[in-house]
Chain A
Amino acid sequence: MAAGFGQTVRSGRARLDPLTLALLLVLWAGLAVFVLYPLARLLASVFAADGSASLENLAKVFRNATTRKALVNSLVLAGAVAVSGTFWGYLFAFSVTRIPLPKAFRWFLKGVVVLPFVSPPFTSSIALTLALGPGGLLLRLFRVPDFNLYGFAGTWVAETLAYFPIAFLALSAILEAIDPNLEEAAASLGGSRWRVFRTVTLPLSVPGIANAFLLLFGASLTDFATPLVMAGHTFPVLTTQAYLQITGMYDLRGGAAISFVLLLPALLVYLLQQSWVERKSQVTVTGRVGPRSAPRGAGRIAGILVLSAVSVLTLFILFLYSIIFLGSFVKVWGVDHGLTLKNYAYVFTVGWKAVRDTVLIAVAATVLGTVLAALTGYLSARREVPFRKALGFVSLLNYILPGTVVGIAYVIAFNSGPLVLTGTMTILVALCVFRYDAVGIRSTEAALRQVDPSLEEASYSLGAGRAATFFRVTLPLVAPAVAAGARYLFVVSMTAISATIFLVSVRWSLLTVRILECVTELLFAEAAAFSVVLILIVFLASGAILLLLRLAVPQSPGGLRRS
């Protein structure tokens, strides 16, 4: 009730001034053109045949044995990845939050876990291929004559490696939030370490486990890059089938129908996950009071077991990344291991256009998207704007939908009709902005809700206008959240493929698409060089954004938020 009261208290500033109104109109226009319109065109295409409403297109999908199999495969794979990814995520999270480790080692673990986030989507696939594919390093080392990496197993391993960090983040947040006093209380009541874990720690982290499971399920279900490289012909999944239907059979309508079949489970998983997140907030901590004791560690044996498992996987990840790095300096992987720079020469000559285009698109998307995210977050958190809920939902829509669906919707919408944009930079930038801005909007909004409105009122009463207040008080206080959104936007704009692959053209090419081309042409060394360059760019840009933040907002020694 108190919160609701707080809302209405602020309604005094609810009148829409011209500036807010103009912002709202621009925002809604963008959302209408780049979110609602493509989705409407997609639905119209799926549910129409021969000019009238029909379920024929969907029926076709289910009549086809391959797509039926692809649906089952997609779900099985997603389930498997969710289980294995959550398992590894929990082990890593437990190591970082519950085992006393040297600080440097803890940072090292966190750093390794972050690697897949800043890598192009094929990295683990390429590295696995180089290690375990035909003529792979490990196979020759252990003299395994024939081993088929491609299919379910390879896709499963590659996706687990790519997505377990998501589980790590979700789970370490929740393990950190569990009040150590609860575990201490259980121990002082006579529980052994294992008993404490089983009866307190694990039950309290169940919401996080469920959340991680659903996040991974969704990520795997909608993953396009990994199965494209790893699944092969024997293990079709929905995302690749939709892509092949369009690029191989030139059947846009059929591809749209397949992507629609993908949409339903993806949406269901998203809704489930959201309800878990809501429930999570009741289960775990409220504001903690008083000094926090160090978390109780695991027992010696358990600690050693967990740490060894974590170390093995960490080493494997490092091994894969060093293969990529080394592979980029090798003449022909598996054949001639002489060192060379010709792969980088290739990247900076033949591949240069893709590098330049990708950076240009990512920078444009990041700049536009960051401004948009800051404004949208501000409007929805601070102003009583009409249709606030709808605004929040629509701005999240493209983010919730699988990339394949969004890509196909864009192709359908902007290939013909009133707005022809395919083949332009505009459409690629718009796709990135309206699909990945969701994270920036959400983090800005969350940060704003933590900033006491009295700070802004203080600014007004000291004589500052709305613009000055926004730029001098509000924005600096939420700058870290805005910057986090910007970094995310840049990284995903650089590494995205599932939606963008439908929109590249001769005029505008993307690094990820070039990497894919190299992989399909078996130019693994060149693919590795492209990947290394991409990872470097992402690291540099990420650092640059952090530096900008430091320069723009002086950090007070104790952090920004007062207790």
Chain B
Amino acid sequence: MSLGISLHQLSKRFARGKEAVPSVDGVSLDVEAKEMVAFLGPSGSGKTTILRIIAGFERPTEGRVLIGGQDVTDLEANARGIGFIFQNYALFPHMTVFDNVAYGLRAKRVPAGEIPRKVAEVLEMVGLKGVEKRFPNQLSGGEQQRVALARVFVLDPRVLLMDEPLANLDASLRTRMLAEIRRLQRHLGTTCIYVTHDQKEALTLADRVAVLNRGRLEQVGTPLELYEAPQNLFVADFIGQANLLRGVVKAVSADSAEISVCGRSLRVRRGRIETLKSGDSAGIAVRPSAVSLGAAGEAFLQGRVESRIFAGDRMEYEIEVEEGGMVRAYGALPGRGVVFSEGDPVGIHFDPGETMAFPL
């Protein structure tokens, strides 16, 4: 049976010296049953701390944790029925694979007669047969990862929490395990929270992504929502790439705002223009794909090509803007459009439909 998770105004402050440093700051979030939510954020954003609070390894300074509607904030970790996958797997080094997987069953006092069958089933499910008698240090990284999954899935957890589970694997194995984890989670219908700092992992894996920054929840949404409609500058920058510029709001209308950037006027239709007021500073985010380069002189901004990189399916440019700052832009491959060389003067255009503005 899969259950939803609710976080209510969760805060965690650590005493560091005399001041209390918030690691998690007023986070509220509902995760539906059977849903897979990724916690995405840079290191120090508090994502792991939240996960550890849900698991019961940490106690929140404030706020409540509900699992399936039941308040578990004061419950010990071993009474929560949660599966936790550690970044380093935390396999018991003094036990065989069999004993590792059977550990939770024995703690639950499952009759000894049923244990071998259950262990064999779950090992088969994660694609690990015939390694029961080996010790963790005789397994490869990927195999250890599968044992960690088996050890948790054998208990049929109501909720699965994963703390950067793929961080210790090499790139090709990571892609395989990512698909594997997704398959198992869908197949078993387990509610899952997946912590990562890798946006590709979060976007490919999760039904919804919660973006965290400095202990605060910046935005929750489907991967597409986050990319298409970021709610602030941090998310716009963190999901995908964006050129960030500063401007001053000149005028705001119902569906657009006029913002002065580098002394030029720019009309912006996306972002949080409803929150902008005339005279405010605003942050502008333009994805490199929304920047087009042209001949110098007749453009929105003037610049000079600082560097050019061949990126396979396109050229990537770093442009030094005349008024200061750098802009990243994509261009056509040689033979399929205009190609600029390093040092060339260029004109820079922003696609108004793709330019976003946020209050600062």
Bitwise, A100-119 to B at CB < 8 A (1) or not (0) is 00000000000000000000
Q: How far, in whole Å, are A468 and B104 apart by their CA atoms in the complex?
A: 11
B92 at the interface (CB under 8 A from A): yes
Q: How far, in whole Å, are A469 and B78 apart by their CA atoms in the complex?
A: 10
A residues 448-502 touching B (CB-CB < 8 Å): 452, 454-455, 457-465, 468-469, 472-473, 476-477
Q: How far, in whole Å, are A35 and B100 apart by their CA atoms in the complex?
A: 43
Q: Which residue of A458, A472, A560, A561 contacts B90 across the interface (Cβ within 8 Å)?
A: A458
Flag if A457 contacts B137 (CB, 8 Å).
no
A460, A468, A477: residue with the most chain B Cβ atoms closer than 10 Å: A460
Flag if B137 contacts A556 (CB, 8 Å).
yes
Residues of B within 8 A of A462 (CB): 78, 103-104, 107, 151-152, 155
B108 at the interface (CB under 8 A from A): yes
Bitwise, B76-116 to A at CB < 8 A (1) or not (0) is 11111111101010111110000000011001100000000
Chain B: interface secondary structure?
A: mixed
Residues of A within 8 A of B82 (CB): 461
Given A8-B15, A562-B136, is A461 in contact with B56 using a C-beta cutoff of 8 Å?
A: yes
A residues 65-117 touching B (CB-CB < 8 Å): none
A190 at the interface (CB under 8 A from B): no
B-side interface residues, number (CB < 8 Å): 37
Flag if B78 contacts A457 (CB, 8 Å).
no
A289 at the interface (CB under 8 A from B): no
Closest chain-A Cβ to B302's Cβ sits at a distance in Å of: 46
Given A457-B55, A457-B57, is A463 in contact with B93 using a C-beta cutoff of 8 Å?
A: no
B residues 144-164 touching A (CB-CB < 8 Å): 151-152, 155
Flag if A562 contacts B92 (CB, 8 Å).
no
B138 at the interface (CB under 8 A from A): yes
Flag if B137 contacts A461 (CB, 8 Å).
no
Closest chain-B Cβ to A464's Cβ sits at a distance in Å of: 4
Q: Select from chain A the residue with minimum beta-carbon distance to B101.
A: A462
Q: How far, in whole Å, are A460 and B76 apart by their CA atoms in the complex?
A: 8
Q: Which residue of B58, B76, B80, B94 contacts A553 across the interface (Cβ within 8 Å)?
A: B94
A residues 525-563 touching B (CB-CB < 8 Å): 553-554, 556-563
Q: Select from chain B the residue with minimum beta-carbon distance to A465.
A: B78
Bitwise, B45-64 to A at CB < 8 A (1) or not (0) is 00001001001111100000
Residues of B within 8 A of A465 (CB): 76, 78, 107
Given A455-B90, A458-B86, is A558 in contact with B137 using a C-beta cutoff of 8 Å?
A: yes
B227 at the interface (CB under 8 A from A): no
Q: Select from chain B the residue with minimum beta-carbon distance to A464.
A: B107
Closest chain-B Cβ to A325's Cβ sits at a distance in Å of: 40
Flag if A464 contacts B92 (CB, 8 Å).
no
Flag if B57 contacts A12 (CB, 8 Å).
yes
B residues 6-30 touching A (CB-CB < 8 Å): 14-16
B234 at the interface (CB under 8 A from A): no
Q: How far, in whole Å, are A557 and B137 apart by their CA atoms in the complex?
A: 8
Flag if A460 contacts B135 (CB, 8 Å).
no
Residues of A within 8 A of B86 (CB): 454, 457-458
Closest chain-A Cβ to B69's Cβ sits at a distance in Å of: 21
Q: List 5 A-B contacts (CB under 8 A).
A: A457-B86, A462-B107, A462-B151, A463-B81, A558-B135
Residues of A within 8 A of B (CB): 4-5, 8-9, 11-13, 452, 454-455, 457-465, 468-469, 472-473, 476-477, 553-554, 556-563
